[in-house]
């Protein structure tokens, strides 16, 4: 008896997969170029933390590097070590900074730690005393109250003539708390505080704006911008005129088409009763795949607000989720499509070119960031290469 052949060809695996992600690296590169144009005179980096927002730091990092990005931001040294193979001469900033045990990776892969506290500052000064000079960056809190030295301590450090020559940051940075709301007075307060900081560190490059901050205009751009979510095709700000090009399309296989009669119930909890004879498509996706339970058509607290649940897209039409989303399966109502239009084995789009990811995120009461970074491990991926 011979074993059945395994699916090893990537195209075969993609065609057979229950869950598929198509990731358009050309769109990713084009989005970076668009953000670079919007950044004006400032250089434009790329934020690729969280595995490039769930899309794969290897492929995304290489595409962004080829598009022209030379400054990258990751959260952990391990991400930077992976990225180094695909961005050989780029500056790679590690936003979590450096802690004991990380220093060998920082030096081995030529990463730039972002120093964000007195503890990290003391450790880094002792480290460079042992290892020799190495570039770093300095993060300062301008009102976010997350990471960063307090402003007063940073200003004292800037004017400290006894500061070791080995501590010479290449970049100072801060982060805007309300950049997605252009009307917030917090934006200008933080920008003016950061200007004071930048003046104190004369000659050191400065970076304040991530994706949303770029749309606030040139006053917020400084020397280097740090786009993240806008690169991946989602909205970053209320002032953003439109989403950048969609980068990822998620699809799930239809496992079964079933008929159900008026008055019957749908899914766990029997929270939805059918008002008509219905045709239902059972799709192979659930909350284990990042298709959040809050997207359910019925039976979750968010739906008590009267807001609709999510839609899928199939056969040229939006079709609604009905009943509760489960771990591995979601039920879509395809009654309004012509009979025979959808067959078992077809694929339904969860988000992508026809259903913007922000529309799906809104239905779940969340943001595109969470939808992307929460993608599960069961998607088979196909990358469309950038030119």
What SS3 state is found at 90? coil
What phi and psi values does residue 132 have, to the nearest 5 degrees?
105, 170
287 is catalytic: no
Catalytic member of 49, 220, 369, 383: 49
Which residues are CB-neighbours of 327 under 8 A, at least 6 positions away? 286, 287, 288
Name the residue among 272, 277, 265, 264 with its Cα closest to residue 296.
Answer: 272
Entry field: residues in the chain: 387
Strands 171-173 and 205-207: parallel
Which residues are CB-neighbours of 184 under 8 A, at least 6 positions away? 178
Rounded distance between C-alpha atoms, residue 256 and residue 20, angstroms: 17
Rounded distance between C-alpha atoms, residue 117 and residue 249, angstroms: 39
Q: Cβ-count burial of 1 within 10 angstroms (0-12 exposed, 13-18 middle, 19+ buried)?
A: exposed
> What does the radius of gyration of the chain's CA atoms come to, in whole angstroms?
24
Whether 331 contacts 267, CB under 8 Å: yes
Strands 137-139 and 330-333: unpaired
232 is catalytic: no
Catalytic member of 86, 232, 268, 379: 268
**348 has which bridge partners?**
252
Which residues are CB-neighbours of 297 under 8 A, at least 6 positions away? 266, 272, 303, 308, 309, 310, 320, 321, 322, 323, 333
Catalytically annotated residues: 49, 268
């Amino acid at each position: 008896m011979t074993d059945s052949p395994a699916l090893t060809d990537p195209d075969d695996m993609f065609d057979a997969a229950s869950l598929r992600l198509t990731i358009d690296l050309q769109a990713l590169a084009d989005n970076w170029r668009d953000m670079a144009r919007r950044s004006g005179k400032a250089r434009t980096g790329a934020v690729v933390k969280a595995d490039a927002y769930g899309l794969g730091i290897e492929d995304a990092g290489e595409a962004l590097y080829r598009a022209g990005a030379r400054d990258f931001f990751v959260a952990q040294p391990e991400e930077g070590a992976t990225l180094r193979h695909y961005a050989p001469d780029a500056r790679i900033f590690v936003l979590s900074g450096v802690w004991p045990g990380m220093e060998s990776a920082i030096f081995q892969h030529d990463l730039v730690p972002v120093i964000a506290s007195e503890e990290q500052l003391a450790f880094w000064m002792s480290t460079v005393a042992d290892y020799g000079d190495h570039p770093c960056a300095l993060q300062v809190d301008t009102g976010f109250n997350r990471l960063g030295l307090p402003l007063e301590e940073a200003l004292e450090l800037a004017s400290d003539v006894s500061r070791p020559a080995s501590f010479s940051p290449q970049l100072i940075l801060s982060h805007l708390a309300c950049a997605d709301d252009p009307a917030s007075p917090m934006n200008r307060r933080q920008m003016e505080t950061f200007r004071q900081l930048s003046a104190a560190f004369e000659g050191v490059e400065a970076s304040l704006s991530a994706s949303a901050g770029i749309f606030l205009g040139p006053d917020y751009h400084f020397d280097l911008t740090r786009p993240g979510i806008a690169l991946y095709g989602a909205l970053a700000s209320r002032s953003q005129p439109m989403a950048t090009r969609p980068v990822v399309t998620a699809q799930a296989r239809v496992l079964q088409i079933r008929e159900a009669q008026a008055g019957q119930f749908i899914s766990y909890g029997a929270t939805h009763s059918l008002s008509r004879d219905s045709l239902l498509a059972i799709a192979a996706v659930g909350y284990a795949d990042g298709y959040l339970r809050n997207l359910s058509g019925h039976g979750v607290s968010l739906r008590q607000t009267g807001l609709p649940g999510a839609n899928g897209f199939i056969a040229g039409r939006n079709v609604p989720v009905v009943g509760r989303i489960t771990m591995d399966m979601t039920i879509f109502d395809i009654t309004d499509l012509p009979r025979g239009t959808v067959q078992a084995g077809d694929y339904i789009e969860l988000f992508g070119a026809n259903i913007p990811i922000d529309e799906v995120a809104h239905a779940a009461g969340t943001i595109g960031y969470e939808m992307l970074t929460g993608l599960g491990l069961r998607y088979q991926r196909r990358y469309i290469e950038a030119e």
